[in-house]
A and B are shown apart, each in its own frame.
Chain A
Amino acid sequence: MDAFWIILTGSLVAISCGTLGCYLVLRKMAMVGDAISHAVLPGIVLAFLFSGSRDPFTMLLGAGAVGLLSTFLIETIHRRGQLQEDASIGVVFTFLFAVGVILISMYAGQVDLDQDCVLYGEIAYVPLDLLYTKSGASLGPRTVWILGGVLLAVIALVSFAYKELAATTFDSQFAAAIGISTTLWHYALMGAVSLTTVASFESVGAVLVVAFLVIPPATAFLLTDKLPVMLGLSAVVGILSAAGGYALAVAIDGSIAGAMAVVGGAEFALALLFSPRYGIPARIKRKTHEELPSVS
């Protein structure tokens, strides 16, 4: 049963992160997920210090707010300060993460958080923290309920706002010209990334969150040229990483989150080698059939 809950948790994170990650990758903002997942640390600590509890909703609120603040800072420094976007991402997230580290070390006695847990997560503990009904029946791990809610929110966003997200991602100038607010959808997407990152954080750690934000979408991108298929494939790749990673971790008795990320990386490598358009078989085929339908 534990295995089931752990794989389910990993899969929920993988699908939420992978879905949002597709848009980040296509917007060339893949590292924004990295930035947010680190930058939210001071938000978590501050939320804990002010509320004095580890209530997940307070944490989500604090971290979500700092997540949005960090995307706002990245945009502002990039636009107003005329600094390159990648440099601006690097400045903002290392600064905020460092502030979080200082806060943790200052209030070490009061804060039940440590850097290791934040970075690597403790997915193995997911089955230990269960929710119960009043009569005492188990409802399953608390994390699964939270992550399930997050996944529903993510799916609602990308299905209701499919055309808005697609248009602003592909051609933001055109989208703006037909009256779709690029700013609104930028922050809606970033808000969703913040929320997902923070909710996933505690259970799977920052490293796996970043891996799931980039690897499944990047793998799916190599395998298809249709956006809806890319979203679906990204989910499949994510679930396979979660299940395969758990099996690998059991086999080698290693870190579960680490193994899930490694399996994701291996899937990406396979896609890179055998992608229908960019892979090795396609290249060999192209060499033998030089007379591809000429495009003029």
Chain B
Amino acid sequence: MIIHVENPALEIHNLTVSYHRKPVLWDIDLTVPQGTLAGIIGPNGAGKSTLIKSVMGLLPADSGYAQMFGEPLDRVRRRVSYVPQRESVDWDFPASALDVALMGRYARLGLFRRPRAADREMAMDCLKKVGMDGFAARQISQLSGGQQQRVFLARALAQDADLYLMDEPFAGIDAATEAAVIQLLTEMKQAGKTVIVVHHDLQSAADYFDWIVLLNMRLVASGPTDQIFTQELLERAYGGRLNVLSQVGELLQKQQFPARERKG
């Protein structure tokens, strides 16, 4: 089931992407409406990260294209923010949380222009929004995984964009941070922003997102959560494995098997 909308924030048209000549995404064609909090869901190796990297022009597409707000990326770059996976950078880099948040302002500064006091204030405000203002001066390797993720979010907020593409912002963070982040993303949505998140946890997906893109190398489904989150579509995305897993889970619950065999 693929539901298209008029006047989308993100439109992907017949996109095919390969990695080392092996196709990882086949003929993806979807739209995501403005003002939604959308999740890209699928099993490992489904090409979720590849999809948003390709949309951001970080990976070349074999065919097809992506548009934001009806324009190619180069014409609306300032309205689009990309948050890479936390593991993709070396956190030993000599910078403070504020330095990283300030990089969000770089998007609005021309070549060779330096950030001004107003940019610093804005970056500081964004740290405050993610609850990191108390850690502004701390070196980024001295932060926990959840705090590093918040700093990345502050950097994205500092871009003051209209469309946010986030790669696994919930990976490896504690429950408190996850709750704070989802609250922030919901507030952004209420302020009219569009947030598209790569997410691997099926359990929470239905609660978090109001639009879901189900992906497994091909597009399985794209539409409002209540229409997409069906057993049938999820099974198609997860290829039967989901069924086996849920049956085992039920069995375990009913019969209360010990999770591990006892040593005899």
Contact = CB atoms under 8 A, between A and B. Distances in A.
A and B are partners in one complex rather than unrelated chains: yes
Interface of A: 26, 28, 82, 160-164, 166-167, 169-171, 173-174, 176-180, 221, 224-227, 229-230, 295-296
A217 B120 CA distance: 27
Given A162-B114, A170-B89, A173-B82, A178 B95 contact: no
Contacts of A226: 94-96, 99
Contacts of A295: 142-144, 147
A226 B139 CA distance: 8
A225 B111 contact: no
Nearest to A27: B90
A254 B147 CA distance: 52
Contact of A174 (B82, B95, B115, B147): B82
Interface in B85-140: 88-90, 93-96, 99-100, 103, 106-107, 109, 111-115, 139
Chain A residues touching B, majority SS: helix
Nearest to A178: B107
Nearest to A82: B20
Nearest to B109: A163
A173 B114 contact: no
B63 to A, nearest CB: 21
Contact of B107 (A82, A173, A179, A224): A179
B119 to A, nearest CB: 11
A224 B90 CA distance: 16
Contacts of B74: 179
12 contacts: A26-B93, A82-B20, A160-B112, A174-B103, A177-B58, A177-B80, A177-B82, A178-B107, A178-B159, A180-B106, A225-B96, A227-B99
A173 B95 contact: no
Contacts of A161: 112
Interface residues of B, number: 40
Contact of B103 (A170, A173, A229, A296): A170
A167 B103 contact: yes
B226 interface: no
Most chain A C-beta atoms within 10 Å of own C-beta, residue among B94, B99, B155: B94
Nearest to B139: A225
B114 A170 contact: no
Contacts of A229: 94
Contacts of A170: 89-90, 93, 95, 100, 103
B106 A171 contact: no
**Chain A to chain B: the 9 pairs with minimum beta-carbon distance, closest first:** A225-B139, A177-B82, A178-B107, A173-B84, A171-B89, A170-B93, A225-B94, A227-B94, A160-B112
Contacts of B96: 225-226
A176 B20 CA distance: 21
Contact of B88 (A82, A169, A171, A221): A171
A161 B113 CA distance: 8
B88 A173 contact: yes
B146 interface: yes
Given A173-B82, A173-B84, A295-B142, A164 B95 contact: no
A163 B93 contact: no
A226 B100 CA distance: 12
B94 A224 contact: yes
B245 to A, nearest CB: 31
A288 to B, nearest CB: 19
A174 B174 CA distance: 24
A173 B89 CA distance: 9
A171 B144 CA distance: 18
A164 B111 contact: yes
B114 A163 contact: yes
Contact of A169 (B57, B81, B83, B93): B93
B115 A178 contact: no
Contacts of B159: 178
Given A180-B106, A295-B147, A174 B139 contact: no
A221 B92 CA distance: 10
B80 to A, nearest CB: 8
Given A163-B114, A171-B89, 20 more contacts: A26-B90, A26-B93, A28-B90, A162-B114, A163-B109, A163-B113, A164-B111, A166-B95, A166-B103, A173-B58, A174-B82, A174-B83, A174-B103, A174-B155, A176-B58, A177-B56, A180-B106, A226-B94, A227-B93, A295-B144
